[in-house]
Chain A
Amino acid sequence: MSQTYTSKVWIAFLFIAAAVYPAQPQDIRLNILKSDEFALRRMVVFKKSGEKIGIFVRIASFDPATGLFVMESATGDATSIPATEIQKIEFEQTVKRQNPAAQQASWEIRATLGAELRYDVSQSALKVESGDLVLPSSSPSTSIPGPTLTPSEASPRKSGNKTTGVSITNVKVLEAKSLTVNGSSKSFFVEVQNVTYTKETSGSSVGLSGMRK
């Protein structure tokens, strides 16, 4: 009897805990400027004045209260730009290319573009952490119509037989495309796109000498 009572108490406790502390949806973290194994990244800031700035290598911080972006150039110089002065920020990616070297497996990377989404993120909800753009996944989103699953730019394909020793790695990444300031409602439209990076590695074809003949 007491065992049944104890288990009822535990179940009730779990229900209350679940109601009080609902599972937090994970934030969406977008790597906007760090290069990795697959792609190089950069951003261009378009100010309302018409000025276009491409020298920033990092968004150091964003203050949700004041709407102030702090951006850093390559020399570490910080520039504060209020969101009200920004028309939009475009984020660009390009696949990495290999410069073939002797005795190394050759590889090429292709990017396949997937669905595009537009998130409406309030100013208070937008965060910048370690240079990444962070937005709550609960932000309202709409899908952007357009062609999907089309191969994007790829490193030049090599001709010839590639029948043996080919390994393929697929990685799905959510890439930021743009951040547009919606001045009237103190919010941002953040456009993101699902991108699948395919890395195709094939065996080396050179001899022992360390030199490609």
Chain B
Amino acid sequence: MEIEESSDRTQPFKALIAASSLIVALLYVAGFAFRWSYYYNFGIPHLVFNLSLQAILTASMELIKQPQNLVATALLLSGSLVIVNLLMSAARRISRWQHPARLWKLLAGVARMLGAENPLVTDCVRALVIFYTVYMLGSQMGYIQFRKHIVNSKENSLPVVTAIFQGDQDLVLACGKEWKAETNFVGNGKLSREIQEYHRTCTSETTVWRLLYRDDKSIYLFASEAEATGKPLTIVLPNTDKVVLVME
């Protein structure tokens, strides 16, 4: 016992190091849930699979970056841990009951069979609760971020963008162009015509186009509006050397 204590003193982060893989996994779950929920609501959840481990771990910091998020995370995590510990303590007591009545015996047997006194089971339950709470928190905060970003306001941190196409690249959907009746399409042709004819691809008094994401192959742009009205109009453009992005 004394040897263990002296070992703890020489390695002050021993417990943390032992749990480091669990902490990384927890941060990964938080970041993944945050980004998944964010892109899912734009209709492009697959983008999460393009993100690097570092990007996802960084996203997990959103859970504590804002003061209100920090408070919500602390309260929900500690609250759920208190509840689960109380339940497990109750289950442990039930498993130790020595009551002659048949019902009590049955309950005690069930509690023992569920592993109420087995440290592995109790640790797994705790871990499960923590992971679930963190996943739900990440998901909710990703959604809040989505709601914030689709509204065109001064607080919106996503860059206002204008995509310019050089050369003779003929885009079907482009601001200021007439709709071509012979356009080929799959899906809602009326909607495509409406987007073009009602100039919905143009930035206007009520609509501002912003850059959501860009990778080697595609550029994701969406229309932020004066008020949140649902899923915003999102357009995926090919990322070629003919496309110039102007960001404000």
Contact = CB atoms under 8 A, between A and B. Distances in A.
B199 A104 contact: no
B96 interface: no
B32 to A, nearest CB: 13
B230 A99 contact: yes
Interface string B164-184: 000000000001111100000
Interface in B210-241: 227-233
A18 interface: no
A208 B144 CA distance: 11
A101 B37 contact: no
19 contacts: A34-B206, A35-B204, A37-B227, A41-B198, A55-B177, A57-B199, A57-B202, A74-B175, A74-B202, A96-B229, A99-B231, A99-B232, A101-B41, A102-B40, A102-B41, A208-B139, A209-B136, A210-B146, A211-B37
A100 B231 CA distance: 6
Contacts of A187: none
Q: Which 8 A-B pairs have the closest CB atoms?
A: A210-B143, A74-B176, A99-B231, A40-B198, A74-B202, A98-B230, A210-B37, A209-B139
Interface in A14-71: 34-37, 40-42, 54-55, 57
Contacts of B205: 34
B140 A101 contact: no
Contact of A211 (B139, B194, B198): B139
Interface residues of A, number: 26
A119 to B, nearest CB: 25
Given A55-B177, A94-B194, A42 B199 contact: yes
Contacts of A40: 194, 198, 200
B198 A73 contact: no
Contacts of A54: 178-179, 197
B142 interface: yes
Contact of A209 (B140, B144, B146, B228): B140
A42 B37 contact: no
Nearest to B207: A35
A75 B41 contact: no
A160 B229 CA distance: 22
A36 B205 CA distance: 10
B160 to A, nearest CB: 15
Given A55-B176, A96-B229, A208 B199 contact: no
B136 A211 contact: no
Interface residues of B, number: 33
Given A210-B41, A210-B143, 13 more contacts: A35-B206, A40-B198, A40-B200, A57-B176, A57-B204, A74-B175, A74-B176, A96-B229, A98-B229, A99-B233, A208-B140, A209-B139, A210-B144
Contact of A55 (B178, B204, B228, B230): B178
Contact of B231 (A37, A101, A211): A101
Nearest to A52: B178
A54 B200 CA distance: 13
A55 B36 CA distance: 38
Nearest to B195: A40
A193 B137 CA distance: 50
A198 interface: no
A60 to B, nearest CB: 14
B197 to A, nearest CB: 6
Contacts of A74: 175-176, 199, 202
B231 A210 contact: no
Interface in B15-48: 36-37, 40-41
A75 B174 CA distance: 12
A210 B232 CA distance: 16
Interface string A61-105: 000000000000111000000000000000000101011111110
Contacts of B136: 208-209
B197 A42 contact: yes
Nearest to B145: A210
Contacts of A37: 227
A210 B136 CA distance: 9
A43 to B, nearest CB: 10
A211 B176 CA distance: 35
B166 to A, nearest CB: 16
